[in-house]
Amino acid sequence: MAKSDYYEILGVSKSADEREIKKAYKRLAMKFHPDRNPGNAEAEEKFKEVKEAYEILTDEQKRAAYDQYGHAAFEQGGMGGGGFGGGFGGGGADFGDIFGDVFGDIFGGGRRQRAARGSDLRYTMELTLEEAVRGVTKEIRIPTLQECEKCDGSGAKAGSKPQTCSTCHGAGQVQMRQGFFAVQQPCPTCHGRGTVIKDPCNACHGHGRVEKSKTLSVKIPAGVDTGDRIRLSGEGEAGEQGAPSGDLYVQVSVKKHAIFEREESNLFCEVPVNFAMAALGGEIEVPTLDGRVKLKIPAETQTGKLFRMRGKGVKSVRGGAVGDLLCRVVVETPVKLNEKQKQLLQELGESLGGPAGDANSPRSKSFLDGVKKFFDDLTR
């Protein structure tokens, strides 16, 4: 297949200068760049063509050869033995540099420094457990740097504009010759921005940003927990001179709850019961986030026993099933007893200490048996 003409590929005339060629190349490379045309083989082919044309036409020697011999100048064995062979071989490294230069400009990976993006901000938001579990919308006030309204963030006085830097002509870089080498350095006049502000805006002194506090309405999704953070894109500090703003991170901190403790999607709470109820069984009311529910306490419930109430926990913001509420029953020793109560307990105590007592208190019995064995072993 015949190769297309390099000038035609770039859409420039045979007399186009380097600037025109670069411009045409930038435009076409942007259009056909593989990152912008994923999976498009035709675009990739075009991109390669454009790149090749650019590389040849921006190299003085190669362009001259092409103008004289056409594509034959670069064919294997064609002109290879001629005066160009050596030069081309050694020129490989240059291609990369030129390519990098132009691409840096287009895709932001290059040497030209942009005005700095605004900083990210962090805001710690305290929530009650209920708010965290159910979700809430809260207004917050944050001090921040915002784009200056007077100059629309440009930093230049009303009616004026940032000027292209005359030292680097907008490139942000200057070339310093050091013997054989040319070294790129950030432009000392514009500090790499490519533009200078002759007449700074008096509201922001040329920074393009002013200090202000802003009120934001933040929607907290249901199920968040301490340590979760919500990113509000672009709500951080404004960038310098119109550069993009940073992000705002709202960091969730859940306050300690009087009753519940949360662990992932489960809730825990302690429920005291008196020991008559623990021994005989009964029904108590326990709190859940949705109100009170009844919990059956079976007879002979020991202190510390956990009762699981399915689905009374939390649904995590990350999804998954709703957790459980785990109620730990704590048997409470009665205090401030009156005479009658004391007497009843006395009788109960005697009864438990009597001949049948061992059966009433299996844990005490096994403990005492263990203690006895321990001392027996010591004296053996």
The footprint of Zn ion (CB under 5 A) covers 148, 150-151, 165, 167-168, 187, 189-190, 201, 203-204
* Identity of the residue, 37 or 163, whose beta carbon is nearer to Zn ion in the bound complex: 163
Among 217, 322, 184, 193, which Cα is nearest to 265's? 322
* Identity of the residue, 124 or 185, whose beta carbon is nearer to Zn ion in the bound complex: 185
Phi, psi for 75 (deg, rounded to 5): -80, 145
CA angle 264, 295, 286 (to 5 degrees): 60
Task: Give the shortest CB-82-to-Zn ion separation in angstroms.
Answer: 42
Conformational region of residue 364, where left means phi above 0, alpha means psi within -120 to 50, and beta covers everything else? alpha
CA angle 251, 257, 262 (to 5 degrees): 70
* Identity of the residue, 147 or 228, whose beta carbon is nearer to Zn ion in the bound complex: 147
Task: Give the shortest CB-30-to-Zn ion separation in angstroms.
Answer: 24
- Determine the longest span between alpha carbons in the chain, in angstroms: 122
Task: Give the shortest CB-203-to-Zn ion separation in angstroms.
Answer: 5
From residue 293, give the alpha-carbon distance in Å to each of 239, 265, 287, 312, 330.
53, 19, 6, 10, 18
d(CA 129, CA 269): 13
Token couple for 164: 């292209």
* Identity of the residue, 53 or 168, whose beta carbon is nearer to Zn ion in the bound complex: 168
Residue 291 near residue 284, CB atoms below 8 Å:
no
Residue 238 near residue 208, CB atoms below 8 Å:
yes
- Pairing status of strand 121-127 against strand 163-164: unpaired
Task: Give the shortest CB-106-to-Zn ion separation in angstroms.
Answer: 19
* Identity of the residue, 63 or 207, whose beta carbon is nearer to Zn ion in the bound complex: 207
Token couple for 82: 């001629």
Task: Give the shortest CB-146-to-Zn ion separation in angstroms.
Answer: 11
Task: Give the shortest CB-144-to-Zn ion separation in angstroms.
Answer: 16
Whole-number CA gyration radius for the chain: 39
Task: Give the shortest CB-163-to-Zn ion separation in angstroms.
Answer: 10
d(CA 102, CA 114): 15
DSSP H or E run through 164: strand 163-164
* Identity of the residue, 196 or 327, whose beta carbon is nearer to Zn ion in the bound complex: 196
Q: Which residues contact 216 (CB under 8 A, 6 or more apart)?
A: 139, 140, 141, 142, 232, 235, 248
* Identity of the residue, 172 or 246, whose beta carbon is nearer to Zn ion in the bound complex: 172
Task: Give the shortest CB-48-to-Zn ion separation in angstroms.
Answer: 34
* Identity of the residue, 160 or 303, whose beta carbon is nearer to Zn ion in the bound complex: 160
Task: Give the shortest CB-173-to-Zn ion separation in angstroms.
Answer: 8
* Identity of the residue, 155 or 246, whose beta carbon is nearer to Zn ion in the bound complex: 155
From residue 217, give the alpha-carbon distance in Å to each of 71, 138, 252, 363.
63, 6, 15, 58
